[in-house]
Amino acid sequence: MDENSRTFLQQKSTGDVLLGLIVYKLCTYQWLVEAAPHLIAFSEKIGLEKVVYWIIKKTFFQHFCGGETPEECLEVMERLSAIGMNAILDLSVEADEDTGTMSFERLEENADFILSKTKHSLETAAKGARAGAFAAVKVTALAPPELLLRLNQTISALSKAFHKYQNNGKIDGQSFRKIVDEILPQPATETQRRQRDAILSRIDLLDFIEYTKLLNLHSPDRDLWWTGNDFAGSGALMAKRDLEAYDRLIGRMDEICSMAKRLGAGVMIDAEQSYFQEAIDHVALNMQAKYNQRIPEEEHQTPTVYNTYQMYTKAALSKLEVDVERAHRENFAFAAKLVRGAYMVSERKRALENHYPSPIQDTIQDTHASYNQGVKFLLTKLHEHQVHTGEALTASTAPIVFMVATHNRESVILTIQEMERQGVLPRSGVVHFGQLFAMKDQLSTALARNGYSIYKYLPYGHIQDVIPYLIRRAQENSAVLGDVGHERALMAIEIKDRLLGSKRSVVITSASHTETAPSVANGATSVSTDPSSGAADMSAGVAETA
């Protein structure tokens, strides 16, 4: 990829390029990003929110979002499809711990409302000009936060108990019985006690995957373990009301995933804060086990459900390894999106206030290493599958399909080079790339033109819902938003050339020096039809700008 190519601007009007230039410049002002929530809140207090929202809608919203409804996103999806890109429709709603005065019942009603909007999003994604579009799903919007916190605490308690008693990665029957006595409700009847004892007596050794499968809240034997004498007590990890709410959450996810499978669309389950993440992973893995099953009769069926791994967490790599093994044992396709993470500031602040170790990597270098190791691990597994089976990789047969969701050029380079080294072809459909809509478009365009699968995250929704979401992302990713200096320079040159009718392009050789060069006809660059050659050219070209 030529670092000075302006191909990514060809499909944009002069007005759009100018708007992008202005918005990118504003995003470099850290004080503005930090002050934005307070300015919006103040405007609401004095009755000027309509004016402020109008300004936002005509600038940041118009640049970074697809519209207010899924239908408004269709035009954007068609434009993306025309340049070889796909979309992930993202209804920008989520929840946090603080739900104000909303009752549990009202939160359940709101979850049903979000369910209907998510299904609408899926239907729209399936109508897109390009097959294989996704709808993003936030589990926190589909259940009361109180339930997710309880579920998260329950799963964490089970994990801690296993690691307390494990020896060489396994626990014996006696240790398992201790965990049952310490954590789960006591049997309510003699029949329930005998049924538990019958299972306990047969246990020799359990590893972590076997242990969590046995005590899975989504298993047919759930009531045997999770109901009992103190089931409704305040000390129970999951009370009766919690399990009933859990079943409603699973029901909503079933509706979404079954619709996606029927429509041929994908469900991208987003990662969220660490105090919800164990619960989200639990839901995602259970949906994958059901909807990503490798069934011989469905030989052309690609994975439906993707889970997201935040590689800036210290536990991410080991979790990735465990879940790949879990998918292998249970015969479902492991489908994942790898991100660095979007809650670093809030996670560290919460850990400090509540006196527990931060779950986030200590340095940015550690985060980069974790992310790149995750990519290498998955590509190595794909290579091993090819060697073992002697079959070419396809999205409908590979044990792993994943998305490298990053704006980091070095990670993109590494992925391309590893794909080539491990014999994973771009056309196989087992590795995708992902970036936010209107972010790093030069990189996205280069990937698409070289035959790689590229998705753009396309947020939409009403202003009052989307803007707080984008502000949080801007605060957490200000370095990303500010790291567009080179693209801003290219956009400025593009506007100048269009206004002056220039037939010569300007090549940027450094931050302070430019020189003229003959322009390429229509701004186009040649694209190799040889996948391996494309990979080599692409990685070499990107490396020039690293």
pLDDT tens figures, 342-385? 888 788 888 999 899 999 999 999 999 999 999 999 999 999 99
pLDDT at 116: 97
pLDDT at res. 474: 59
Give the pLDDT score at 483: 59
pLDDT at 138: 94
pLDDT over threshold 90, residue 520: no
* 3-state SS string for 198-234: HHHCCCCEEEHHHHHHHCCCCCCCHHHHHCCCCCCCC
The radius of gyration of the chain's CA atoms, rounded to the nearest angstrom, is 25
Q: What single string gives the DSSP state of each residue in 81-108?
A: HHTT-EEEEEE-----S--TT--HHHHH
CB 45 within 8 A of CB 516: no
Please say if the pLDDT value at position 513 is more than 50.
Answer: no
What is the chain's mean pLDDT, rounded?
Answer: 87
Q: CA torsion, points 7, 13, 18, 20, in degrees to nearest 10?
A: -70
Beta-bridge mates of residue 360: 313
C-beta of residue 119 within 8 angstroms of C-beta of residue 258: no
Helix (H, G, I), strand (E, B) or coil at 40: helix
- Tell me 434's DSSP state: E
What integer is the mean pLDDT of 504-526? 37
- 226 contacts 238 by C-beta, under 8 angstroms: yes
- pLDDT of residue 166 exceeding 60, the answer is yes
Cβ(487)–Cβ(497) below 8 Å: no
Q: What is the dihedral of CA 150, 153, 159, 162, to 10 degrees?
A: -90
Q: Among the listed ranges 84-93, 486-495, 502-511, which one has the minimum average pLDDT value?
A: 502-511
d(CA 513, CA 517): 13
The tens digit of pLDDT for each residue in 377-389 reads 999 999 999 999 9
Q: What is the mean pLDDT of residues 494-508?
A: 71
> Residues 235-260: pLDDT tens digits?
568 988 999 999 999 999 999 999 99
Range of weakest confidence among 83-97, 221-235, 237-251, 468-482: 468-482
Token pair 């549990």 is found at 104
What is the rounded average pLDDT of the residues 255-269? 96
Q: Which residue has the higher pLDDT, 521 or 465?
A: 465
pLDDT tens for each residue of 22-73: 988 887 788 888 888 889 989 999 999 999 999 999 998 999 999 999 999 9
Confidence band for 471, pLDDT divided at 50, 70 and 90: confident
Do 286 and 216 contact (CB within 8 A), yes or no?
Answer: yes
pLDDT recorded at residue 437: 92
What is the arithmetic mean of pLDDT over 300-309? 93
Residue 96: per-residue pLDDT: 63
Fill in the DSSP letter of residue 450.
T
Segment among 92-96, 186-190, 321-325, 366-370 with least mean pLDDT:
92-96
User: Is-contact 55 101, C-beta < 8 A?
Assistant: no
pTM here is: 0.89
What is the distance between the alpha carbons of residues 104 and 120, in angstroms, rounded to a whole number? 25
pLDDT given at position 510: 36
Q: Identify the pLDDT of residue 506.
A: 42
Name the burial class of residue 411, with classes exposed (0-12), middle (13-18) and buried (19+) by CB atoms within 10 angstroms of its CB.
buried
Distance (Å, whole) CA 313 – CA 315: 5
Write down the pLDDT at residue 345.
Answer: 78
Q: What is the pLDDT of residue 93?
A: 75
**Res 412 pLDDT > 60:** yes
The closest of 94, 16, 25 to 62, measured between CA atoms, is 16
Q: pLDDT tier at 476 (50, 70, 90 boundaries)?
A: low
SS3 375: helix
- pLDDT band at 509, cuts 50/70/90? very low
174-195: per-residue pLDDT in tens? 999 999 999 999 999 999 999 9
Residue 332 has pLDDT above 60, yes or no: yes
> For 427-447, how does the pLDDT look when each residue is reduced to its tens digit (9 = 90+)?
999 999 999 998 889 999 999
Task: Report how far residue 312's alpha carbon sits from residue 209's, in angstroms, rounded to the nearest whole number.
Answer: 23
Q: How far is CA 518 from CA 119, 331, 488, in A?
A: 50, 55, 21
